[in-house]
Amino acid sequence: MLDLPMGDRFVKITNRTIWLLASAMVSVHAAAAVSHVLPEVLTPESVNGIEPSTPLRAGDKGPAVLRAQILLDRARFSPGEIDSTYGSNLHRAIAGFQASQGLEVNGTLDAPTWAALDSDSAPALIGVTLSAEDVAGPFQPLPSGMPAQAKLDALGYVSSLEALGERFHASPALLSQLNPGRDFGRAGEQLVVPDVQASTPMPVVAKVVVDKSESTVSLLDEAGKVVAQYPASTGSEHDPLPLGDWKIKGVGKHPVFHYNPKLFWDARAKDAKATLAAGPNNPVGVVWVDLSKDHYGIHGTPEPSKIGKTQSHGCIRMTNWSAQEVSEAVKPGMIATLQE
């Protein structure tokens, strides 16, 4: 038993009490380590003015995470779809950025990493006004199944909100959270959006590396330095990534999709060949980077939230905006190394 001072009195503390207090403190710290959820009030003031005092880690949410995602996106180390949540794609983006800056590669937003990111001092969130073109469409529902989609003249966006999400590399849910009560279909509406415009031109790219274990596509310069990195889905057990060095044959923008059920292990027996029109909701998105391996390429997707988190049918699938950026950086004859 211990006698501990409390003010001008003494309190008797038994061994049992000490054990209970210690257990409670451990439980509190353990719970904090698991959740570590930051405030989710997302405004230009809370995000642009954030001064993180603690490292961020997996599972965190809120203004600091959102600012980090936007700054990494502008630095061309994409976190995938921006959603203000610290997930696996953000972890990979941080690790890639750290390696490019010569920092300790730990995948955690520590003080040195924040210092490097904060060299970009432009606001993370900005205001925009919707134009008539932004809301003109045409927008239409997307039916499920390739036979139904093959009947459409175009596979465009289903709504202006979806289109804006791709334009600003953000989830529709995040845009809605940033703009409560706003009408995304009205010209003249003022919105708060991520500023994802890179501040410097893309360096000259000499090689593409697709990494299966990291679920990333990287662009390298002549010296072998990674100048851009993006999350990707890279094959599956049924359709493994074809490892090795392949050449880029060319780029096809706004591709149509030729569905051949014989090439899909999960095709239904009654499925027939079909051609699906171009558009951002086409199965291969807005661009196709053709590889010298037959039937394989780097392409976009109609489901950006699943990139880096689900499997593909062997090809390298990216968000539409990342695939577009890669397509503008590569040239025919360039080597694309697909590695384990």
Q: What is the pLDDT of residues 79-117, one digit of tens each?
A: 999 999 999 999 999 999 999 999 999 999 999 999 999
Residue 302 confidence (pLDDT) above 70: yes
Asked whether the beta carbons of 325 and 218 are under 8 A apart, the reply is no
Strands 207-211 and 274-276: unpaired
The amino acid at 45: E
Residues 6+ apart with CB under 8 A from 177: 40, 42, 84
Q: 37-200 with 207-339: one CATH topology?
A: no
309, 318 Cβ separation under 8 angstroms: no
pLDDT more than 90, % of the chain: 73
Question: How many Å apart are CA 99 and CA 93, to the nearest integer?
Answer: 10
Helix 63-74 × helix 88-100 angle, to 10°: 50
Rounded distance between C-alpha atoms, residue 254 and residue 258, angstroms = 13
Q: Which of 175, 301, 182, 170 is nearest to 234 (CA)?
A: 301
pLDDT digits (tens, 9 = 90+) for 209-265: 999 999 999 999 999 999 999 999 996 676 789 999 999 999 999 999 988 777 665
pLDDT at 37 over 90: no
Superfamily of 207-339 according to CATH: L,D-transpeptidase catalytic domain-like (2.40.440.10)
319 φ/ψ angles, rounded to the nearest 5 degrees: -65, 155
Q: Where are the alpha helices (DSSP H) in the chain?
A: 15-35, 44-48, 63-74, 88-100, 111-117, 146-149, 160-167, 172-178, 320-329
CA 139 to the chain's CA centroid = 24
Identify the pLDDT of residue 8. Answer: 29
Residue range 177-194: mean pLDDT, rounded: 97
Question: Is the pLDDT at 267 greater than 70, yes or no?
Answer: no
**Hey, is 23 helix, strand or coil?**
helix
Q: Where are the domains of the chain?
A: 37-200, 207-339
Confidence (pLDDT) at 24: 38
Give the separation between CA 164 and CA 130, rounded to whole angstroms: 10
DSSP string, 42-97: --HHHHHT----S-B-TT-BSHHHHHHHHHHHHTTB--SSB-SB--HHHHHHHHHH
pLDDT at 163 over 50: yes
Residue from 127, 136, 101, 112 nearest 44 by CA: 127
256: which 2 tokens?
């149509």
CATH of domain 37-200: 1.10.101.10
Which residues, including other chains, have CB under 8 Å from residue 146's CB and lie 6 or more apart? 259, 271, 274, 276, 283
Exposure of 8 by Cβ count < 10 A (0-12 exposed, 13-18 middle, 19+ buried)?
exposed
As given in the structure block, the two tokens for residue 180 are: 């409560």
Q: Mean pLDDT throughout 10-26? A: 35
Provide the mean pLDDT of the chain: 86
Q: What distance in Å separates the CA atoms of residue 318 and residue 247, rounded to the nearest whole number?
A: 19
Mean of the pLDDT values across residues 181-199? 96
Please give the pLDDT value at position 265. 55
Q: 44-53, 111-120, 180-189, 312-321: which has the minimum mean pLDDT?
A: 312-321
